[in-house]
Homo-oligomer: A and B are copies of this chain.
Amino acid sequence: MSNMPNTTDIQSYMQQVGKQARAASRLLAAANTGDKNHALMTIYKTLSAAKADILAANKIDMDNGRNNNLDAALLDRLALTEDRFDGMLQGLKDVAALPDPIGEVTDMTYRPSGIQLGKMRVPLGVVGMIYESRPNVTLEAASLALKSGNAIILRGGSEAFESNQAIAKCILQGLKDAGLPEHGVQVLATTDRAAVGELITMTDYVDVIVPRGGKGLIERISRDARVPVIKHLDGNCHTYIDSDADLDIAVKVSVNAKTHRYGTCNTMETLLVDTAVANDMLPKIAEAIIEADDAMQLRVDSTAKSILAGNTKLDGHVSDATDDDWDTEYLAPILAIKVIDGLDAAIEHINTHGSHHTDVIITDNYTKSQRFIREVDSASVMINASSRFADGFEYGLGAEIGISTDKIHARGPVGLNGLTSQKWIVYGHGEVRG
């Protein structure tokens, strides 16, 4: 990390980083659980002791950010408050306490040839992480990679450069102290954009890229990457109120799925209500949502509009939906509402307009609940529960690498296992193939 390269040397610098990561990954793959946990706890202690230095480094980033007129949201994400610092350390302890996924052997059976065949869980090798302002991602990503026996190359945002370097120093100390390879975690010493281009195309040295950030960043990386990407695009989540829905559940879940938090990818963006119960249920759901947050705006189709017309509790909250509304992830106190003609139309709407993230049916009908579960093509499909549950912690994964909107490798919330693969192992006794 000490020798900051010239821009012209970016390619050879990145090749060097890649080679070092590959070499470190071999050692980390064979590291035992105790050593990995020891490194994590040493990082914990080192970080605790260096708290003042790290907050000071973050202050430099914040000052630079203000001087460079970074917008308020970005500055907020960049800020390492005492609370956030403590939360970051707690997360590190949580990762140390997780079971080690590496080395797990499953499905060991004898084949007719006489060989004994099974699968062993192993690290992917080298992870490339590309992220924006939040400096706590540096520690979170490093700890998840170490726990799962992977080397990691971290490329944070330029605005968080000082914070990330200060955190990296503590991580290095932990690796050294546990006798693990110091190139196991490398925080890039450059903020040159060309480094990203190298990182995502070094297929010899990098096994997977995990981007964290806005949709624009992730689309750009997915487009240009040669290394496989575990990506999360958008969450346009639906709740479908079936004709056999329980009204109380319909109201309670809708309110929670929409108003619990607005900025999360598992928040409901479109409410679908079956024609048969729209007159009865839609006004009650709409009123409860407005009651939960007076800032809510409802964008409704023509049928919903006529049902809600004249409802004084909704005054000023209702406007006409356009076609774009069905495809939009608002991440804001806005909800699209459509009255729809039965289960088939609901599934069709969700599979066409959704983002295959998380979708919910509210029903007490067995057949319809099972058809919804089977036919909705989303990473999480739910009956009678809030879409807000689609989350690594709620799913019991312990820590979350991210949420994948892909179908390949990992789907939905991704835990430590997302940074592993399974290789085949064969125990033989001199068998040959006939």
Contacts and interface: CB of A to CB of B under 8 A. Distances in A.
B432 A383 contact: no
Interface stretch (A76-84, A327-335, A389-397): A389-397
Contacts of A208: 407-408
Contacts of A371: 30
A374 B427 CA distance: 13
A56 interface: no
Interface in A376-395: 377-386, 388-390, 394-395
Contacts of A246: 430
A252 interface: yes
A267 to B, nearest CB: 10
B424 A413 contact: yes
A388 B226 CA distance: 30
A199 interface: no
Interface stretch (A117-125, A135-143, A270-278): A117-125
Given A252-B432, A351-B26, A425 B385 contact: no
Main secondary structure of the interface of A (DSSP, over half): mixed
A36 interface: no
B424 A381 contact: yes
Contacts of A424: 379-381, 390, 395, 411-413
A99 interface: no
A107 B276 CA distance: 36
Interface residues of A, number: 69
Contacts of A144: none
A413 B431 CA distance: 19
Interface in A406-434: 406-409, 411-413, 421-433
A341 interface: no
Contact of A384 (B109, B124, B125, B429): B429
Contact of A383 (B260, B379, B385, B426): B426
A433 B260 contact: yes
Interface of A: 26, 29-30, 103, 109, 111, 113, 115, 117, 120, 122, 124-125, 207-208, 222-223, 226, 228, 246, 248-249, 252-253, 255-257, 260, 351, 371, 373-375, 377-386, 388-390, 394-396, 406-409, 411-413, 421-433
Given A115-B394, A381-B426, 6 more contacts: A26-B377, A111-B394, A113-B389, A381-B423, A383-B428, A385-B429
